[in-house]
């Protein structure tokens, strides 16, 4: 997987996108970033910087990610002839989830997702909401049936996370696994090992 589109929406969890983009850049991947309008606002609120500043600060030896405007329906990801290997929507709001599930697409982010479905390309959706309504669950089922991987930002604790970064990296590592990007961000489960519960 070398050319990857990343959609960032207005769900909480900008840090997941930050860590994913950093990791993919360190692997020299070609990234195309699309922030929804609310995604830009929430990103700025949660990280303290704008998407442009974040990209400027990225330490990328090879490719800087390309930032596309969500209103630029003429941008390359809007066409099936732009061959992306995969798209990840992280974090994915229930609003974007619903619009994609229902084919109601009025932005570059939504159109790019729709293109991935019609071209039968890999699409990974990282929803963030709790609790889920019946409508959210129905939309996720619809997207699963259409071929998406629903990969919720849902931490595990059997790996004994010690920091917020550990918790974030658990989900990011699972996204990288789906993209077939080798990573050692998490300790892989290798059967039960003795653990130290002294911190409890
Ligand atoms: C600080 C903040 C956090 C939010 N967190 C979530 C969330 O976790 N999940 C969600 O579905 N919507 C969340 N929302 C609401 C979405 O931003 C809102 O539904 C928006 O219309 C989504 O638009 P988009 O999908 O185009 O980004 C949040 C809004 C704000 C301001």
What does the pLDDT look like over 94-103, one tens digit per residue?
Answer: 999 999 999 9
The pLDDT value recorded for residue 15 is 98
What's the token pair of residue 115? 């293109």
Q: Ligand 1, closest atom to CA 93?
A: 11
What confidence category does residue 1 fall into, taking pLDDT thresholds of 50, 70 and 90? low
What confidence category does residue 53 fall into, taking pLDDT thresholds of 50, 70 and 90? very high
Express each pLDDT in 119-129 by its tens digit.
Answer: 999 999 999 99
Residue with CA nearest ligand 1 atom 26: 36
Q: Can you give the residue range of the structural domain that contains 152?
A: 3-178
Query: What would the mean pLDDT of 73-101 be, rounded to a whole number?
Result: 97
Is residue 157 one of the residues assigned to a domain? Answer: yes
The pLDDT value recorded for residue 178 is 97
Mean model confidence pLDDT for the chain: 94
Is residue 192 one of the residues assigned to a domain? Answer: no
Is residue 109 one of the residues assigned to a domain? Answer: yes
Q: In what order do the strands lie in the sheet with 66-68?
A: 66-68, 30-35, 3-8, 86-92, 122-127, 149-150
CATH number assigned to the domain comprising residue 56? 3.40.50.1950
Is residue 188 one of the residues assigned to a domain? Answer: no
Tell me how far CA of residue 56 lies from CA of 50, 59, 94, 110, 132, in angstroms: 10, 8, 29, 25, 36
Ligand 1: residue of 6, 9, 11 to mutate (most ligand atoms within 8 A of CB) is: 11
Global pTM exceeds 0.85: yes
Is residue 106 one of the residues assigned to a domain? Answer: yes
The pLDDT value recorded for residue 16 is 98
Q: How many domains does the chain have?
A: 1
What confidence category does residue 170 fall into, taking pLDDT thresholds of 50, 70 and 90? very high
Measured in Å, residue 43 CA sits from the centre of ligand 1 at 11
End-to-end distance of the chain based on CA atoms, in angstroms? Answer: 41
Is residue 186 one of the residues assigned to a domain? Answer: no
Q: Ligand 1, closest atom to CA 45?
A: 1
Measure the CA–CA gap between 59 and 139, rounded to whole angstroms.
Answer: 37
pLDDT at 49 over 90: yes
Measure the CA–CA gap between 186 and 193, rounded to whole angstroms.
Answer: 15
What's the token pair of residue 9? 């929406």
Query: What would the mean pLDDT of 19-41 be, rounded to a whole number?
Result: 96
The pLDDT value recorded for residue 62 is 76
Which residues have C-beta within 8 Å of that of residue 77, sequence separation ≥ 6?
Answer: 5, 32, 34, 68, 84, 87, 108, 111, 112, 115
The pLDDT value recorded for residue 200 is 61
| Among 152, 171, 172, CA closest to 94 | 152
Is residue 190 one of the residues assigned to a domain? Answer: no
Q: Ligand 1, closest atom to CA 38?
A: 27
The pLDDT value recorded for residue 149 is 98
Is residue 185 one of the residues assigned to a domain? Answer: no
């Amino acid at each position: 997987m070398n050319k990857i589109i990343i959609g960032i929406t207005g769900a909480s969890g900008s840090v997941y996108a930050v860590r994913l983009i950093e990791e993919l850049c360190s692997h020299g991947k070609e990234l195309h970033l699309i922030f929804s309008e609310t995604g830009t606002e929430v990103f700025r609120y949660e990280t303290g910087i704008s998407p442009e500043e974040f990209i400027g600060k990225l330490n990328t030896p090879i490719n800087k990610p390309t930032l596309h405007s969500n209103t630029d329906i003429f941008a390359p990801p809007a066409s099936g002839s732009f061959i992306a290997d995969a798209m990840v929507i992280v974090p994915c709001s229930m609003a974007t989830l619903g619009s994609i599930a229902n084919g109601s697409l009025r932005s570059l982010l939504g159109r790019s997702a729709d293109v991935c479905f019609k071209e039968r390309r890999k699409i990974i959706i990282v929803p963030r909401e709790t609790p889920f309504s019946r409508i959210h669950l129905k939309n996720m089922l619809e997207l699963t049936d259409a071929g998406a991987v629903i990969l919720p930002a849902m931490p595990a604790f059997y790996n004994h996370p010690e920091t917020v970064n550990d918790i974030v990296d658990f989900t990011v590592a699972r996204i990288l696994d789906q993209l077939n990007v080798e990573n050692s961000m998490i300790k892989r489960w290798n059967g039960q090992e003795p653990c130290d519960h002294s911190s409890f």
